[in-house]
Amino acid sequence: MKISIAQQNYHIGNFETNTAKMISAIKEAKAAGADIIMFSEMSVCGYPARDFVEFNDFISKCYEAVDLIREHADSIAVLIGSPARNTIQKGKDLFNAAFFLYEKEIKAEIHKTLLPTYDVFDEYRYFEPAYEWKVVPFKGKKIAITICEDIWNLGDNPLYRICPMDQLMEQSPDLMLNISASPFDYTHDEDRKSVIKANVQKYKIPMFYCNAVGSQTEIVFDGASLVFDKDANLCAALPMFEETLVTVELNEDGSIKAPILEPASRVPDKELNPSTLEPALNIAQVYDALILGIRDYFSKMGFTKAILGSSGGIDSAVTLAIACDALGAENVRAILMPSPYSTDHSVNDAVMLSKNLGNPYDIIRIDDVFHAFTKTLEPVFNGLPFSLAEENIQSRTRGNLLMGIANKFGYILLNTSNKSELATGYGTLYGDMAGGLGVLGDCYKLQVYALAKYINRNKAIIPENIITKAPSAELRPNQKDSDSLPDYSLLDQVLYQYIEKRMGPAEIKAMGYEAALVDRTLKMVNNNEYKRNQFCPIIRISPKAFGVGRRVPIVGKYLN
């Protein structure tokens, strides 16, 4: 039996494009002699469709798309994902479903059992869990079909009370097919492989796993679909961050004949991974995820050109380099906005960076605008000394200029804030926190430096001075980040334990971190939730990103 895996990039609610893409893949699979082609979870409408599924019209369009695809499932079986209506009066109105199409008919409708409600997932808000579990007979084989989370309930501490594959094994299936929309983070590739392998080791039958690829606002799906034979040997690993169709052959004895594929991802040079921060691992994957995040956000929204503030600092430099790679240097405009406190070397570094990248840039001094603001406010400020207010006026002036140019020429402003700054509130609302998409908002400062080294792996693109100089906002004389924040080598460690690992202050202190550092850091994080709540979407690359995957109250006493 030949099975094709179609790893595709869908556009939420773009039924015409999604359907055409799947029909094209079906034709390709037929030409390869495939018996079955499988697509990812919610392939018909894109994932996650969120509250769109509450519209009856949206669900009707899903069924119309299923019917169109069904007409092409004649000599080949087609496995697709879509919402399905629940005809039982009790419970949610919808299932997260897989449709098994063959001979132009819906031969089976499989419902997802395990509905995740953690991190970025909120499926129980919309869907009812499966009521029954049945294998699908096809060409003398019995197929166990599951959907994403259904295969993750293994291990010593299962999250759910039921395991769908345990139910299906009572009917002696010959193989497993799983359709998924499993998001990327820098730890997930190996986790995913180990979970799928554990399923094969437990059930002793081959597994074909099809994952989505592409970015949906802040969530990046990396593909990396997999095939294991009955002995848990990895037989095929589809590339990360790329659309791919691969056909493999399942032999009668459970062995698998698969084509030789390119490596699933680029392996980063180990010297790029600072030993002081675990998330710096897999920096090549992080880079590719950010590229895909920018590229899909722009293409799916119909945008073509980006703008950003280029300060001569590491964050704007890395953002600019990644954006040029994603969109083309000619489509990314850098605006240098020196203030009375900007150093000449910062301006020169920013100019050199744009020349290295070949992107257009402008230099607009903000001195006159800044002085106009301060002069206007003189009667109100009443002679009080220079303070944070004057620093933020400079930042908001830059934000206004960037948005003015963006509005005039149709650019989208890319935000350059990193996760360390967002965590501690080291940023200005409506100033350097302005933007339509946060590129580095899920990357700690040390990860940003690792990205810079990765960008420079073949040649010097980011000037060395940008990488080696002490980071500074340059909003007052001789300012450095270390004036307001702990050293990033320590700060990022504490932030990582608190945000990603969800450790409390006592646990972090027990790891050897200074008590005052821990208390100060956690207080900064919690006091600045109001800022993050007003921030733009952030491309998610970690297991716990700011945004939809982290929900804490703005008004709360805990650790404040």
Active site residue 443: no
4 and 27 Cβ atoms separated by less than 8 Å: no
Backbone angles phi, psi at 493, to 5 degrees: -65, -45
SS3 165: helix
- Establish whether 61 is an annotated binding residue: no
Smallest Cα–Cα separation from 361: which of 412, 322, 437, 306?
Answer: 306
- Establish whether 392 is an annotated binding residue: yes
Give the Cα separation of 109 and 16 in Å (integer).
22
354 and 361 Cβ atoms separated by less than 8 Å: yes
- Establish whether 276 is an annotated binding residue: no
- Establish whether 549 is an annotated binding residue: no
- Token pair belonging to 500: 């990603």
Q: Which of 45, 148, 235, 324 is catalytic?
A: 148
- Token pair belonging to 38: 């499988």
- Establish whether 400 is an annotated binding residue: no
User: Phi-psi region for residue 344, left (φ > 0), alpha (ψ -120 to 50) or beta?
Assistant: alpha
- Establish whether 312 is an annotated binding residue: yes
Q: Which of 112, 230, 419, 453 is catalytic?
A: 112
Question: Can you give 493-550 as a three-state secondary structure string?
Answer: HHHHHHHCCCCCHHHHHHCCCCHHHHHHHHHHHHHCHHHHCCCCCECCCCCCCCECCE
Calculate the CA 256 to chain-centre distance: 32
- Establish whether 412 is an annotated binding residue: no
Q: How many residues does the chain have?
A: 560
Give the Cα separation of 474 and 346 in Å (integer).
9
Active site residue 71: no
538 and 442 Cβ atoms separated by less than 8 Å: yes
- Establish whether 194 is an annotated binding residue: no
Calculate the CA 11 to chain-centre distance: 15
Active site residue 262: no
SS3 522: helix
Give the Cα separation of 93 and 120 in Å (integer).
22
- Establish whether 416 is an annotated binding residue: yes
Smallest Cα–Cα separation from 437: which of 326, 552, 530, 519?
Answer: 326
- Establish whether 182 is an annotated binding residue: yes
Handedness of CA 293, 299, 300, 302 (dihedral sign): positive
Handedness of CA 282, 287, 293, 295 (dihedral sign): negative
Extract the annotated binding site for ATP.
309-316, 416
Extract the annotated binding site for deamido-NAD(+).
392, 421, 531
Extract the annotated binding site.
118, 182, 309-316, 392, 416, 421, 531
Active site residues: 41, 112, 148
